[in-house]
Structure 1
């Protein structure tokens, strides 16, 4: 299925406070777009509006030229897989049962062998099959985060929305999760919008970045073009330089202003 996502002049206000102001960007099949910016810049609010949890105050969010407010919730759940920073879960449910919930919009009367296989494939992709029978309340924060990402994979959406998916993970698992999501988006021609703090993760894995500052788009484009020392200083108040070697290009912050 072909996918086109458009955010046109979207604003979000809470009373007199403007959280997001005239945000516009677009993306297509197989693209990863990273939302960047300091705390309070509006990244989570943007993700929640894309997931149709919060309604924008102005502007339009559309998927394949259809306003998301007009898409049936069941159909939207098949199109969009959302992984928030904090996920409510049933303490006495197992990992397998939690991931199976990602298939709920497809299950009619009974869970089929096909549904079980899709859940198993998602567990395998995140390398957590060994935890399938573990109870959710016995897992660490990082382990739970991988379970919720597996649940989104089991959903098989066209668009993944991930809000700080690596925040509870150590460095190894941050890289593993981003490698997995990039592989899935490219191999299956899916799209992903991910809010992240780590500039180097965005630098390495994103096709486009949207840099937010005080609710506005400070920069948008290819990460190598956009994430310059000048941009980083303007948005984050940090001096930095770019290092390039046989492993790629990296952002090295060294002084706060």
Structure 2
């Protein structure tokens, strides 16, 4: 599945929060949206997910305008994990993940549906928590539950808004490695908004740098996330180190405001 954004703009009243956003996403690609707070990452994710509509421009899925796709069919195609999620306190982890299959279930829950939930929990090493109630979990554990719910949905496109923000370093890496493997195995695309530039550097095929609602960079992480770009967009001095594990960004000083 190919996703194409063409000159997407979003206004809230007289304020333009996204201006002329254009990029494309192919099969098994990961696109990372990076940029400071308030740069428009979450808004863009919500527009692609169909939560909000753009003011102008178009978003196409395999050449079809997203606004012309039946909402139920669109929900089957897109697995969306928002930055702030709601849940029922007294539902179990298994029940919460099963909700990811709600667009596919017609009359009753089949063995296949239950199996998909089980496999999604296993992918995130949460099968032992299937019977736990959501209000018993930590913030990071709940975040992993909602990622598992998106996996159970088996979409063609994953939309993640800061999916690792409540996770410690180990689980950030585990989740990103799991998602990288899943995009390869399923041929699914992913658009992910992240603050950690090194996660984008390591796992993304392409980065879109947003600054003040506009695109300040678009391309391969190693080519776009340069010290010059970081200084311009974030107002931070940084340098790149390279070893046998790859390249890494190291911020070391707050510079002048961008």
Coarse TM-score class (shorter-chain normalised): over 0.9
In the other structure, the counterpart of 1:94 is: 92
> Which of 4, 7, 14 in structure 1 is aligned with 2:5?
7
TM-score (norm 1): 0.99
Q: Deviations over 1:173-225 (max 9, x none)?
A: 00000000001001211100000000000000000000000000000000010
Gaps of 5+ in 2: none
In the other structure, the counterpart of 2:155 is: 157
Look up the SS of the partner of 1:110 in the other structure: coil
In the other structure, the counterpart of 2:169 is: 171
Any runs of at least 4 consecutive aligned residues in structure 1 with deviations exceeding 4 A, and if so which?
none
- Structure 1 residues 25-44: aligned runs within 5 Å: 25-44=23-42
- Give the alignment's Cα RMSD to 1 decimal: 0.5
Tell me the distance in 1 between the aligned counterparts of 2:183 and 2:161.
Answer: 16
- Structure 1 residues 1-257: aligned runs within 5 Å: 3-257=1-255
Tell me the distance in 2 between the aligned counterparts of 1:157 and 1:114.
Answer: 16
Look up the SS of the partner of 2:75 in the other structure: helix
Gaps of 5+ in 1: none
Look up the SS of the partner of 2:253 in the other structure: strand
Look up the SS of the partner of 2:100 in the other structure: helix
TM-score (norm 2): 0.98
Tell me the distance in 2 between the aligned counterparts of 1:180 and 1:83.
Answer: 15
What displacement does 1:45 show? 0.1
**More displaced 10-residue stretch of structure 1: 61-70 or 116-125:** 61-70
Tell me the distance in 1 between the aligned counterparts of 2:105 and 2:52.
Answer: 27
Q: Deviations over 1:35-73 (max 9, x none)?
A: 000000000000000000000001001111111111111
Tell me the distance in 1 between the aligned counterparts of 2:105 and 2:226.
Answer: 47
Tell me the distance in 2 between the aligned counterparts of 1:66 and 1:165.
Answer: 28
Tell me the distance in 2 between the aligned counterparts of 1:65 and 1:247.
Answer: 38
Tell me the distance in 2 between the aligned counterparts of 1:48 and 1:104.
Answer: 20
What displacement does 1:247 show? 1.1
